Structure 1
Amino acid sequence: MAAPDQNARSTEDDDVHKEIDRAKDMIERCLQLYMNRNETAHTLEVQFGIDPRLTRLTWDKLAEDNPEFFQNYYTRLVLIKQINRFNELLGQQHRAMNIPLVPGKAVIV
Structure 2
Amino acid sequence: MDIADLRTRIDLLDDVLLRIFNERARLALEIGHCKKDLGLPVFDPSREKKIFARMKNDNPGPLDDGAIVRLFERVIDESRRLERIMTQPEQEDAAQP
Q: Give the shorter-chain TM-score range.
A: 0.3 to 0.5
- So what's the TM-score if we normalise by structure 2? 0.44
- Relative contact order (alpha carbons < 8 A, sep ≥ 6): 1 or 2 greater? 2
- Pick the structure with greater CA Rg: 1
